[in-house]
Structure 1
Amino acid sequence: MTIRRFEGYDLVGDIHGCGLSLRMLLARLGYSKRDGTYFHPRRQMIFLGDIVDRGPHIREALHIVRDMVEAGHAQIVMGNHEYNLLCYCTPSRTPEIHPFLREHTQRHRRILQETLQQLDPYPHDKREFLEWMKQMPLFLEMDDFRVVHACWHDELITQFKEMMGGNRINDDFLHRSSIPDTFEWVLMDRLLRGTHLKLPNNEVMVSRDGFKRHFFRTKFWSVEPQLFIDVAFQPDPLPEHVARMPLTAHNRQDLVHYDETQKPLFIGHYWCEGEPRPVSTNIACLDYSAVKYGKLVAYRYDHERELRSDKFVWIDVRAEIKKPE
């Protein structure tokens, strides 16, 4: 079997059903179709997860991405939205307690409603996509860079590799991951949802997507942070009185630090804004909220040690017709 060697990699952030924008981005990056599947003669694409939910062309995006992965023209890591969909659709082994691994609450249904509406009319596709999602790697460790959807946590990843012998879950792991505070639950929460801190004094924030939240997303690369605002990493600003509060010793225990001496790391998940640029010398976040008419962003990686702003490529998403094909 011939192993393809790639000159470089094109890493793409959260697509969230923006299938038309994905086609535009592929064209801009020099990918074209061969035998019905997008490819590049010298490069490979890496998708950072969250292909599903929210957008108007979820099924189309899934077909594009899966076809590229199966043909060897791309790789992918699992996002929290693929994981949520898997758990929502997977029957529990204790149906008398919970019929499914993820409860069918109004909130959970709201998050998944676009995906379910677009896939339910195609049950064969839905079954195949769910099986494929279960096989997605949680992370990629390449010779000179790393990829994970939300947060690279060395200790948890080392434990996972020792337990599973690689970077993929199985059925038993998936079922155990639905039980709070197990190792499996902690690992999936950290790698796919990132680090977060609880708002003090039981305060609640209402985020831009309309959900009430008791936690806020945090940076895992801050050097010697002192205040809450030093670690906040989300588009929704913290309340001013919270932002200026000092971090406690307990808060610091919940933070993780990815040192700038480590390999370049590519993440999605965090809804960045503005013109794409690295968040640190060796970390690039590629989620710029495409589905909210932001940007669908890629980074053209050519083995550089220090990440650069001029390596970002993106499509400005204005409006895709809100109608599945």
Structure 2
Amino acid sequence: MTGYDIIGDVHGCASLLTRLMGRLGYRVGESGAYEQPGRQVVFVGDLVDRGGEQLQVLETVKRMVDSGSAQIVMGNHEFNAVAYDTEHPDRPGEHLRPRSEKNTNQHRAFLDQVDGEARAGYLKWFAAMPLWLDLGDIRVVHACWHEPSMRVVEEALGSNRFSAREQFVRASDTEDPLYEAIEVLLKGPEIDLAKHRLEPYYDKDGHPRSRARVAWWRENATTLRQLAVLDGNFRTASGEAYPELPDVTVDPAESSYTYRGDVPVFYGHYWRSGSPEAGSDYTRRSACVDFSAVKTGNLVAYRWDGEDEIRPGHYVLSA
């Protein structure tokens, strides 16, 4: 393999994926899958929910993975889909992910567009996806590369992936160490704003939140302002823009997630906006590839050709 093309969260945007594959130079081969000699795509997860072309995305990506022209890691939306579908063995009628109005609405596009045997087959595929990939020269995870959490997963599951639906029960139990490990890898670590005497913020969907995502990719970050990801369209309860956070040093435990590895790591999940070349979405050794495809109409890839430091010119956009 001479290179990898790491593609961000697709979220049901098949047309954007088709356009991006063309810009990357992939063509449909005899197997019916996109391929390119010497190269392989790596998807960072979150294929489903939100967009209007769910089934087409799943058909395209699974065909590529099955043929060997792509690999994939699980995203939180794949995990949520399996948990939403899985009934708790000890609580008849209850599911591992509660079927609340909020959760059902978040999952509505997948439920409406993929049903019957097709849905059952894709859920089986989701459940077996690896939670991360260490490919030697690069690393890929959906939300956060955190080796202590990976060790918890390997101890609980025996590998970097689930092998049975029953294991999702443990991963959905807030009292089980596996739950927190999966949360970190698939959703990212968080800082409790209440601990710093700050009011909740309202996210892009209008939901109040008292915890902020940690910018684990910022190599030397030690303060609340540097570590808490609150640079989106977040609001206060009164509808005003959320104020700038204080530049106070956080507890060492809150900054312990910072990535300090020498191997480039690629991730999605964070709904970034603007140009990926602007400088706020990559460091020497890490690069985000999720640029809100559903919202911006831009699906993003990073074309890796063997470099050991991120090169912003290697981002490729579908637009």
State the TM-score, normalizing by the size of structure 1.
0.88
Query: Is the Cα contact below 8 Å between 2:26 and 2:35 reproduced in 1?
Result: yes
Equivalent residue for 2:77, pick from 74, 81, 90: 81
Which amino acid in 1 is paired with 2:284? T
1:152 corresponds in structure 2 to 145
Which amino acid in 1 is paired with 2:74? M
The alpha-carbon deviation at position 211 of structure 1 amounts to 2.1
Percent sequence identity over aligned pairs: 35
Tell me, what secondary structure is at the counterpart of 1:254?
helix
The alpha-carbon deviation at position 73 of structure 1 amounts to 0.7
Tell me, what secondary structure is at the counterpart of 2:276?
coil
The alpha-carbon deviation at position 174 of structure 1 amounts to 1.0
Establish whether residue 45 from structure 1 lines up as the match of residue 45 from structure 2.
no
1:174 corresponds in structure 2 to 168
Which amino acid in 1 is paired with 2:142? H
Which amino acid in 1 is paired with 2:274? G
The alpha-carbon deviation at position 226 of structure 1 amounts to 4.7
2:263 corresponds in structure 1 to 263
1:225 corresponds in structure 2 to 221
Tell me, what secondary structure is at the counterpart of 1:9?
strand
Establish whether residue 215 from structure 1 lines up as the match of residue 214 from structure 2.
no
Establish whether residue 164 from structure 1 lines up as the match of residue 189 from structure 2.
no
Query: Is the Cα contact below 8 Å between 1:26 and 1:32 reproduced in 2?
Result: yes
Which amino acid in 1 is paired with 2:233? D
In structure 2, what is the Cα distance between the partners aligned to 1:138 and 1:307?
23
Query: Is the Cα contact below 8 Å between 1:58 and 1:118 reproduced in 2?
Result: yes
Deviations 1:230-275 (A, max 9, x none): 11235235765561252442xx423334444421000000011121
Tell me, what secondary structure is at the counterpart of 2:255?
coil
The alpha-carbon deviation at position 160 of structure 1 amounts to 2.4
Query: Is the Cα contact below 8 Å between 1:195 and 1:255 reproduced in 2?
Result: no
Deviations 1:201-238 (A, max 9, x none): 47221112222222111211334435422112352357
Query: Is the Cα contact below 8 Å between 2:47 and 2:57 reproduced in 1?
Result: yes
The alpha-carbon deviation at position 12 of structure 1 amounts to 0.2
The unaligned stretches of length 5 or more in structure 1 are: 1-5, 317-325
Count of residue correspondences:
306
Change (3 A) 1:42 1:223: closer
Tell me, what secondary structure is at the counterpart of 2:287?
strand
2:232 corresponds in structure 1 to 235
Deviations 1:33-86 (A, max 9, x none): 123211112210000000000001011101100110011110000000111111
Query: Is the Cα contact below 8 Å between 1:176 and 1:184 reproduced in 2?
Result: yes
1:319 corresponds in structure 2 to none
The alpha-carbon deviation at position 164 of structure 1 amounts to 3.0
Query: Is the Cα contact below 8 Å between 1:78 and 1:138 reproduced in 2?
Result: yes
The alpha-carbon deviation at position 181 of structure 1 amounts to 3.0
In structure 2, what is the Cα distance between the partners aligned to 1:169 and 1:301?
28
The alpha-carbon deviation at position 11 of structure 1 amounts to 0.4
In structure 2, what is the Cα distance between the partners aligned to 1:261 and 1:130?
33
Establish whether residue 55 from structure 1 lines up as the match of residue 59 from structure 2.
no
1:24 corresponds in structure 2 to 19
Establish whether residue 140 from structure 1 lines up as the match of residue 136 from structure 2.
no
Tell me, what secondary structure is at the counterpart of 1:155?
helix
Change (3 A) 1:230 1:291: same
Change (3 A) 1:174 1:18: same
Tell me, what secondary structure is at the counterpart of 1:157?
helix
In structure 2, what is the Cα distance between the partners aligned to 1:261 and 1:37?
34
The unaligned stretches of length 5 or more in structure 2 are: 236-240
Change (3 A) 1:240 1:38: closer
In structure 2, what is the Cα distance between the partners aligned to 1:156 and 1:41?
35
The alpha-carbon deviation at position 143 of structure 1 amounts to 1.2
Query: Is the Cα contact below 8 Å between 1:136 and 1:168 reproduced in 2?
Result: yes
Tell me, what secondary structure is at the counterpart of 1:82?
helix
Output the aligned Cα RMSD: 1.9
